[in-house]
């Protein structure tokens, strides 16, 4: 049931209204930030279209049909070719398509077209989810257009994306767009508390860190988060104090082989800390600070910097991110960035 999903009450009302009218579009585009529940809403809609024991217009969530729709039969291998088929749930009328590598393929769209033309095997409707639909290229988009233009009355295609602007205009124009909003900090904080995943200050920190994405909050390992954050806090303190020794030490740690996969994450943490310092410096309010459990330390750093300096730090990080795309030497780039931060 939609009521069991967190946030986006406006979307719930819209989907209930569509279900009540019996006019679910053949093509829907669920767009919004990563981790706000778009796929869960799509599955809940698939349940509502097939449940045999409806609760009003919604799936009951308890019958065999609803439970089977919740379970996808993902391939056991990592071979790309094994991921080019429609990934069916335990219910034969609900399936998912994902990009086997970087792009969604033409043959995957043709498989959807072929399957969509069959009548439902056991339910009332066939539902096809296309995850990360922004991975459609021109060829696969054109292969999908036919089914979007003339969808059979018993089939529905739901495109899911966090980057709708990457879709061709011809795709967007043939879908009814359902826009998802980031969740509020209170909504995210309640979820780990109510589900015994975290409580008190930990749930609060997860909510602040998430940026409106419940998925990001649930994936976060708080112990790892705090460990990496402490390193970046020392880096920021070194920049504020102009401590070149500290910054070179931080750069060395950033480039240790064991932290190779955490490099981008640490840059994100450093940017978040700088933004917190900037918020405190301009007096925008403690309630807007992400890392509000570090307020004494952040206030001390804020007292040693100014708006232009903090803005230049963020600009320097973003410039280095762009340079990393063209494979510049990461260690040299990190040393240069941190020493520039100390000198600015």
9/154 same-domain check: yes
- 219-235 burial code (b ≥16 CB/10 A, e <16): ebebeebbebbebbbbb
Instruction: Indicate if 227 and 292 belong to the same structural domain.
Output: yes
Domain boundary among 181, 209, 237: 181
| Token output for 342 | 């100390």
Quote the pTM value: 0.79
Q: Are residues 62 and 170 in the same domain?
A: yes
Judge whether 42 and 30 are in contact, CB under 8 Å.
yes
User: Could you tell me if 150 and 283 lie in one domain?
Assistant: no
Q: Which of 219, 245, 268 is the last residue of a domain?
A: 219
207 and 266 share one domain: no
Estimate the crossing angle of helix 263-282 against helix 307-324, to 10 degrees. 160
Domain that holds residue 214: 185-219
Instruction: Report the CATH number that the domain containing residue 105 is assigned in CATH.
Output: 3.40.50.300
Please count the structural domains in the chain: 3
Of 219, 241, 266, at which residue does a domain stop? 219
What is the DSSP annotation of 244-305? HHHHHHHHHHHT-GGGGGGHHHHHHHHHHHHHHHHHHHHT--GGG-TTGGGHHHHHHHHTT-
Do 21 and 136 lie in one domain? The reply is yes
Instruction: Locate 62 and state its tokens.
Output: 């308890």
Please tell me the predicted confidence (pLDDT) of residue 193: 63
- How remote is the C-alpha of 291 from its chain's centroid? 20
Render each residue's pLDDT in the chain as its tens digit; 344 residues.
788 888 899 999 999 999 999 889 999 999 998 889 999 999 999 999 999 989 999 999 889 999 999 899 998 888 888 899 999 999 999 999 999 988 999 999 999 999 999 999 888 999 999 999 999 999 999 999 989 988 889 999 999 999 999 999 999 999 999 999 988 877 887 776 666 666 677 777 777 777 778 888 778 788 888 888 898 899 898 888 888 888 888 888 888 888 788 888 888 889 989 999 998 888 777 778 888 888 899 999 888 888 888 888 899 888 888 777 666 788 888 888 888 887 77
- Are 136 and 153 contained in the same domain? yes
Q: What is the pLDDT of residue 125?
A: 94
């Amino acid at each position: 049931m939609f009521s069991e999903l967190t946030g986006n009450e406006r979307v719930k009302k819209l989907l209930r209204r569509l279900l009540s009218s019996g006019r679910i579009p053949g093509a829907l585009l669920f767009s919004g930030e990563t981790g706000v529940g778009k796929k869960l809403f799509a599955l809940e809609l698939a349940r509502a279209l097939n449940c045999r024991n409806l609760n009003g217009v919604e799936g009951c969530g308890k019958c065999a049909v609803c439970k089977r729709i919740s379970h996808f039969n993902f391939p056991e291998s990592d071979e790309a070719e094994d991921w080019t088929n429609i990934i069916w749930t335990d219910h034969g009328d609900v399936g998912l398509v994902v990009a086997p590598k970087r792009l969604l393929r033409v043959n995957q769209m043709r498989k959807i077209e072929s399957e969509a033309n069959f009548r439902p095997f056991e339910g009332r409707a066939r539902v096809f989810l296309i995850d990360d639909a922004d991975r459609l290229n021109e060829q696969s988009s054109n292969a999908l257009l036919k089914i979007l233009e003339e969808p059979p009355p018993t089939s529905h295609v739901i495109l899911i994306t966090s980057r709708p602007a990457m879709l061709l205009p011809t795709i967007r124009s043939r879908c009814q767009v359902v826009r998802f909003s980031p969740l509020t900090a209170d909504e995210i904080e309640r979820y780990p508390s109510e589900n015994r995943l975290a409580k008190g200050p930990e749930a609060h920190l997860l909510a602040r860190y998430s940026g409106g994405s419940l998925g990001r909050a649930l994936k976060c390992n708080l112990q790892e988060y705090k460990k990496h954050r402490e390193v970046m806090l020392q880096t920021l303190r070194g920049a504020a104090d102009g401590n070149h020794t500290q910054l070179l030490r931080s750069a060395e740690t950033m480039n240790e082989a064991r932290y190779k996969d955490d490099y981008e994450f640490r840059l994100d943490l450093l940017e978040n800390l700088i933004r917190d310092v900037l918020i405190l410096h301009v007096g925008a309010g403690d309630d807007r600070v992400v890392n509000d459990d570090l307020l004494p330390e952040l206030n001390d750093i804020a007292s040693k910097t100014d708006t232009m300096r903090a803005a230049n730090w963020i600009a320097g990080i973003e410039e280095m991110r762009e340079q990393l795309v063209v494979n510049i030497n990461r260690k040299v780039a990190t040393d240069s960035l941190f020493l520039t931060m100390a000198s600015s």
